[in-house]
Amino acid sequence: MAGLAKGLAVIEAFGETSSQLTVAEAARLTDVTRAAARRCLLTLTELGYLTHDGKYFRPTPRMLRLGGAYLDTASLPALAQPHLVAARDALAESVSLAVWEDGWSVFVARAEAERIVSTGVRVGARLPGHCSATGRVLLAELPDEAVAGFLTRSRPERRTAKTLVDPAEITRAVEAARADGFAMSDEELELGMRAMAVPVLDTRGRTVAAMSVSASSARVTVEEMRRDFLPVLLDQATRLGRML
């Protein structure tokens, strides 16, 4: 079982910033010895989850099976998909669903708008909690002391000139999301992109996910998002929440 744990850690080391890994990089990211990392990488290669060119290990399409097992059986993404599609069709913009995991907003379902240049993120991607609209909505569910602890541990990083990194400012943004029932991220993750998110509440009133829409700042203003997008998101999030 210890070997399984090490193998899973190696798998999780692959991500947006680590699309390929050497043995040394895998060992450093997973805090295991080089020998253990090498054994895990070679085993995953033998099983068809990775390829190896002599230096770098890279994931193969078979890796999708691991995430697909969750997406195919989890009730939340399956229940959410029709509501994401309805919101996308009403807004003509991509709409996503995210859950909280270890300080990250993780996207578990998405309805992509048909555009030449796609916006937003793919299913399985993670966004930092401090500067994403979904992250702030999900943080708003936590007690104040938990939010403060998260900001202390995470050391918020600046993504653009507009990213909030001061803990006091982020705390105010989270408090606003809690009070207003929605959050926005205006070019804080990427210049030219803005996003809005609302909580998905279960029948007990707990936030279990965040539904969001992302759009080009050149195409949609903040005022238009508040006026036109917010009612649609709230409606679909409420409909989904009634099913949970």
Report the pLDDT averaged over residues 209-230.
94
Domain boundaries 2-65, CATH class: mainly alpha
Q: What is the C-alpha to C-alpha distance for residues 115 and 190, in angstroms, rounded to an integer? A: 18
Mean pLDDT over 163-175 rounds to 94
pLDDT of residue 125: 86
User: What per-residue confidence (pLDDT) applies to 102?
Assistant: 83
User: Which pLDDT score, from 0 to 100, does residue 121 have?
Assistant: 73
Yes or no: domain 74-241 corresponds to CATH 3.30.450.40: yes
Bigger pLDDT: 155 or 67? 155
Q: Give tens-digit pLDDT for 194-212.
A: 999 999 998 889 999 999 9
Question: DSSP readout, 48-72?
Answer: TSEEE-SS-EEE-GGGHHHHHHHHH
Cα–Cα distance for residue pair 170/173, rounded to 1 Å: 5
Three-class DSSP category at 7:
helix
SS3 213: strand
Span 37-60, pLDDT tens digits: 999 999 999 999 999 999 999 998
Dump pLDDT digits (tens) for 76-127: 888 999 999 999 999 999 999 999 988 899 999 999 987 655 555 788 888 9
Q: Where are the domains of the chain?
A: 2-65, 74-241
pLDDT computed for residue 73 by the predictor:
57
The pLDDT value given to residue 17: 59
Greater confidence, 129 or 115? Answer: 129
Given a cut of 60, is residue 164 above it in pLDDT? Answer: yes
Instruction: Identify the pLDDT of residue 34.
Output: 92
61 is written with which tokens?
A: 């399409």
| Mean pLDDT for the chain overall | 89
Compute CA 67 distance to the chain's CA centroid, rounded to the nearest angstrom. 14
Residue 200: predicted pLDDT: 97
Question: Parallel, antiparallel, or unpaired for β 57-59 and 95-101?
Answer: unpaired
Q: Is the pLDDT of residue 235 over 60?
A: yes
Q: In this structure, is the dihedral angle defined by the CA atoms of residues 138, 143, 144 and 150, taken in order, positive or negative?
A: negative
